[in-house]
Every structure is written in C-alpha cells, then in structure tokens.
Amino acid sequence: MELKTKLSVLADAAKYDASCASSGSKRERPKGGIGNTEGMGICHSYTPDGRCISLLKLLLTNVCIWDCSYCVNRRSSNVRRARFKPEEVVRLTIDFYKRNYIEGLFLSSGIIQNADYTMEQLVLVAKKLREEENFGGYIHLKAVPGASEVLLKQAGKYADRLSANIEMPVQEDLDKLAPEKTIGEIEDTMGTLRAEIDESRERARADKKSARPAGAGETFAGAGQSTQLVVGASRSSDSVILKKAEELYKKFKLRRVYYSAFSPAEFTSPELSRTPTPPMREHRLYEADWLIRHYGFSASEITAQIADGNLDLTKDPKLAWALAHRQLFPVDVNRASRSLLLRVPGIGVRNVDRIVKIRRFHRIGLADLVRLKVSMNRAKWFVVTADHNPDVFNLDKTDLMTRFRRPAEQLSLFAPGPATVVMGEI
C-alpha cells in the first residue's frame, strides 16, 4: 500500500482520540538534533470541525484483536485496514516537523497479538525518533492497558505524555461494550505510570536541591498522563462520569480527562445507545471538569442539584449551582474571599485574581467589572459592588431562572466544541 494511502487510513482511524495537547513538557533541542518543547503547546492548524492540529495523530495500525462495540476499529468492523512500518511513522513525523506543521507525534494503535507486543511497537517508534533522529519535539504515546512495567518504563523515558484510556466510567458498561477490557487492568496501568511520574519528579527535585545537573534522559513522561471517556455510548449518567473523573484525578494525578461524544453511525451492537450524543453534553462535561480542576468544586456539588443525573444542557453548571444556592449570594466583590469569588457565575479564574489585586487600591464598581470583561449577563445578578447594582435585587425573584433559559430549538445551532471550552473561562 502506498504511504499516502496508509497515512489517510491511519489518520482517519486516529481522530476519535480527542487529546491533542502538546503542553506541559520542557526539553531543549538535542545537540545536532531537531526540535524542542518550551512548555506551551502550539496549535499549528485547525480543521472545519473546530479542532486543532497540534500533533501528527496516527494509529500504527487499525488492525485490532479486540471488539469494543463503540470503536470504529473493532475486530468485527469492516473498515479498510493498514499498518505502518515504524520507520514510515518516523519519516512522516520528521518531515512534518521540519516544515513546522506539528509539535510532534501522538501515536496509538489497535491491539496486535497482545498488549506487550503492541506496546513494544509503539516504544520502538519513539525510540527511533529520540535516538536515531535526535528528535526533541513532543511525543504522546498510548499506554496499552496490561502492558508490562518494563515496557511502560521505556515508553515514559521517550514520551512526554502517556495515556491509558478508561473509555467507560463503570465495569458494567465495559462488560457490555468492551468485553476484553477491565477497569482494574486500566487502573493498574495508570497506577504504574503515576508511581513512575512521581519518582521522576522526586528525582528532579533532589537534583535541583543538590545542584546536580538534571539527567536529561531520566524524566518520565514530563507532561504527565491523561485519559479519555466515551460519552453517551452506554447509559451511564453525567453524575457517574464526573464522579469517576474526579476519582481518577485524585488517584492517579491525571493532567486531563477527555470526553468524547459517541455518535452511533455504522455501529450495530444492540447494547449501544441509538441516539447520537448531543455535542452540548460533551461541552457541559468539559465545563464541569473545569470547575473541578480550577474552581474548587467537588463532583458531588455539581451533580447534587440535577434530577436525572445529567447536567442541564440549557445552562452552564456553575450558573446552575449558583441558582440552586442563592442563599450564598449576593457576593460582595470588594470583600469576599477568593474561593467565594470563584463561585460567582460569569467571573473566571483570571478575573478573580485581578479583582483581588485591584481592590487593594480602590473599591470596585460595576464599570470595573465591565472593563475586565466579566460576563455581566450572568454575574450581575449575584454581586454587590461599591456602587449601585440594580440587578442584584432580582436575586430572590422566583422567575430568575427564566432569564437564562434559551429556546430549546436553539441548542442544535449553539454547540461549541471542546476546543473552545478548553481555552475559555467560566
């Protein structure tokens, strides 16, 4: 098969993995080599689906011995199959990188023979890039659940990020949809990665303290680990998903959990959901995830007020929480603690920090908030400022809810994707 055809087949097969991050890792260009990472990710292009291209995202092969019913590459699917030789992936990565198309490589694979063999093949590509091509750019490798510790250790030596995808929040879902996978095995892999990452950080700290030069090759997955959940293929609710995500963040110190909305085209299993997941559901999950990671919310706080276990599609989870906790408002922007300011709808983390700084020098009025580009449509009902804020008197009105409600049919038009959520503040 021609290389261009393989590229087409194996990029097409890789696009369901939502992660494209290239940040969080620092590496200087190796002597005589090419490429570096400076900590900040760069999105080199965008496709009309609104997603960014930061990494060359490929499967080594889309041949797979597993039969996960939500996956296009499952054994029983009749998609066209292809397989790269490791040196072909290396060539494409270097050629693309030199032209500044990408930050690096994100390599995953269908399961060939077994977990170890598959992991070995992925590691081989990364090894060639680092050792033969002197490549200093970003590498994200899939950590195959169940792969041996030795192989995972090698993977982390070459890769900036590793990810083992959990796919479903509970074992019951996996039993129905991905019979070869177990939460236990996937979490074991995450546990191994966490131990290695912690140890590597510890080493770096000790090196810094003793002023020893940091060992270049010793960093294990400098950009940490992440995972992905498929949303809407099983019946599990947002409450279950968010509880699992929070648990994973705590247990394995994941950098990110990605959520991928399932769409049932071409899938035949009777266990699968028949209706496509609304993109807004994925969007709300990212917002809730953001609240957990940056705003001091717990998953249970976010899900306590939702009746059927799913996030309200018509308003963001922070606004929904505030409306359900009106006794805590209004918040005085000139006096409230940082943690309370973080709870005000429409004020993001950066603006909270700005407000805390500004109020040391003068009392904050409505005009200050407007100039800070606080989202006043949401914030105005919940804050007291140095001057008169007439809207705050509506806080206790029973019809306040309706002021945020959008006509239901507008939903399908209004569907920002994860790319915009990831950047934004809520």
Partner 1 sequence: MIYADPGDSFAEWREAARGLLARGVRPDEVVWSGGGQAGLFGNAAADDDAAPCGTFRVPAEFLKLARAVACYESVERWGLLYRLLYRIAGGRRHLLEIESDEDMRCARLMEKAVNRDVHKFHAFVRFREIEVEGEKVFAAWHEPQHFTVEKAVPFFVRRFGDMRFSIFTPKLCAHWDLEELKFSPGVERVALADDTTEDFWLTYYRAIFNPFRLKVGAMKKEMPVRHWRTLPEARLINELIEEAGRV
CA distance 143 to 119: 7
364 binds partner 1 (CB under 8 A): yes
Query: Half-sphere exposure of 388 toward its Cβ, with a 13 Å CA cutoff?
Result: 1
Instruction: Kindly determine how many residues on this chain lie close enough to bind partner 1 according to the rule CB under 8 A.
Output: 58
Q: From the CB of 36, what's the least distance to partner 1, in Å?
A: 5
Q: Nearest approach, Cβ of 88 to partner 1 (angstroms)?
A: 11
CB of 358 to partner 1, least distance (A): 6
Cβ at position 260, least distance to partner 1 in Å? 11
Work out whether 368 is an interface residue with partner 1 (CB under 8 A). yes
> What gap in Å lies between CA 160 and CA 237, rounded to an integer?
32
Q: Which is nearer to partner 1, 13 or 147 (CB)?
A: 13
- Nearest residue to 383 (alpha-carbon basis) of 415, 426, 416, 340: 340
Q: Which residues are within 8 A (CB) of 134 and not within 5 positions of it... i.e. 6 or more apart?
A: 30, 31, 32, 33, 34
Is residue 9 a contact residue for partner 1 (CB under 8 A)? yes
The answer to whether 183 contacts partner 1 (rule: CB under 8 A) is no
Check binding of 202 to partner 1 (CB under 8 A).
no
CA dist 10 → 82, 145, 266, 278, 311 (Å)? 7, 21, 18, 27, 34
Stretch that binds partner 1, among 45-53, 142-150, 159-167, 311-319 (CB under 8 A): 45-53
- Give the integer Cα–Cα distance in Å for 46 and 52: 4
Report the sign of the C-alpha dihedral through residues 362, 367, 371, 373, in that order: positive
Q: Which of 226, 53, 75 is nearest to 143 (CA)?
A: 226
Helices (H), 146-228: 149-158, 171-177, 183-209
Q: Please identify, among the stretches 94-102, 150-158, 199-207, 309-317, the one whose residues bind partner 1 according to the rule CB under 8 A.
A: 94-102
Q: Is 146 helix (H, G, I), strand (E, B) or coil?
A: coil
Among 80, 362, 397, 403, binds partner 1 (CB under 8 A): 362
**Rule CB under 8 A: which of 96-115 touch partner 1?**
96, 98-101
Between CA 347 and CA 355 the distance in angstroms is 10
Question: CB of 416: closest distance to partner 1 in angstroms?
Answer: 6
274 binds partner 1 (CB under 8 A): no
Asked whether position 358 contacts partner 1 by CB under 8 A, the answer is yes
Any contact of residue 270 with partner 1 (CB under 8 A)? no
Binding site for partner 1 (CB under 8 A): 3-4, 7-9, 11-12, 14-15, 28-29, 32-36, 38, 42-53, 56-57, 92, 95-96, 98-101, 263, 265, 279, 354, 357-358, 360-362, 364, 367-369, 371-372, 415-417, 419-420
